[in-house]
Amino acid sequence: MKDNEGNVIDIQLKTVIFAKKNKRVIKIGDLNLGEFPLLLAPMEDVSDPPFRAVCKTNGADLMYTEFISSEGLIRDAAKSVQKLDIYDYERPVGIQIFGNEISSMREAAAIVEEAGPDILDINYGCPVSKVACKGAGAGILLDIDKMVAMTAEIVKAVKIPVTVKTRLGWDENTIRINEVTERLQDVGIQAISIHARTRKQMYKGEADWSYLAEIKKIAELQFQFLAMET
């Protein structure tokens, strides 16, 4: 499927991704995903190795792990460390982390890189209270300076491409997704996935795509319109 400017559009569980522009080929860093990639979104307690094996068999071109707590990783918690398990047949595969402390996220990013994924994804979109109300996931949308600083530190800490998954804002009064996209692009992320709802909306209500057209304009120098949220 293509948008009205001829860019390739792909459906990734209703989340929008802007990835690096390179004619019609979708690239994240040096990773060439071809013209029409099918992406598996990160899903806690769902996108584990057996589920990913099924998705790979059925044509997934890029898959993400479920999110992993940075605090769990730096403390060597078995449950978190186990989620780093990835297998060569899954490639390309991304590992996603979340957390609210810049130093812990930087340390966790280095641990993730050791596990050998093709991409490191940062979760700035989780709306559940136990994550967002502690300032992680979508909670960081209330402190965009910290979000940018955290991302910059992570990009510096690893050699693999860093991607971000986020939402429009905390609520309808705090939507600064244009600024977020521009600033995260400036500190070196290679792609952004945008769930076109606010944290307040959780998983319900209308996704507002009107923001996405604007973001495409901001991001068009570096990013390509790749997938969309319904």
Q: Write each residue from 28 to 47 as x if it is in contact with ligand FMN (CB under 6 A), else as -, in one continuous string.
A: -------------xxxx-x-
Count residues near ligand FMN (CB under 6 A).
Answer: 17
Quote the Cα angle for 204-138-224, to 5°: 85
Please identify which of the residues 31, 39, 93, 126 carries the catalytic annotation.
126
The pairing of strands 31-32 and 27-28 is antiparallel
83 binds ligand FMN, rule: CB under 6 A: no
Q: Write each residue from 5 to 24 as x if it is in contact with ligand FMN (CB under 6 A), else as -, in one continuous string.
A: --------xxx---------
Closest CA to 17 of 163, 152, 149, 192: 192
Q: Is residue 55 among the annotated active site residues?
A: no
195 binds ligand FMN, rule: CB under 6 A: yes
Exactly one of 66, 71, 90, 118 binds ligand FMN (CB under 6 A); which one? 66
96 binds ligand FMN, rule: CB under 6 A: yes
- What single letter denotes the amino acid at residue 206? E
199 binds ligand FMN, rule: CB under 6 A: no
CB–CB of 199/127 below 8 Å? yes
CB–CB of 195/170 below 8 Å? no
The pairing of strands 223-227 and 16-20 is antiparallel
Q: Which of residues 148-167 bind ligand FMN (CB under 6 A)?
A: 165
Q: Please, which residue, 13 or 175, has the CB nearer to ligand FMN?
A: 13
CB–CB of 175/135 below 8 Å? no
Q: Please, which residue, 66 or 107, has the CB nearer to ligand FMN?
A: 66
Distance CA 83, CA 123 (A): 15
Distance CA 167, CA 211 (A): 11
Q: Which of residues 101-130 bind ligand FMN (CB under 6 A)?
A: 123, 125-126
Binding residues (CB under 6 A) for ligand FMN: these are 13-15, 41-44, 46, 66-67, 96, 123, 125-126, 165, 195, 203
Supply the residues annotated as catalytic.
126
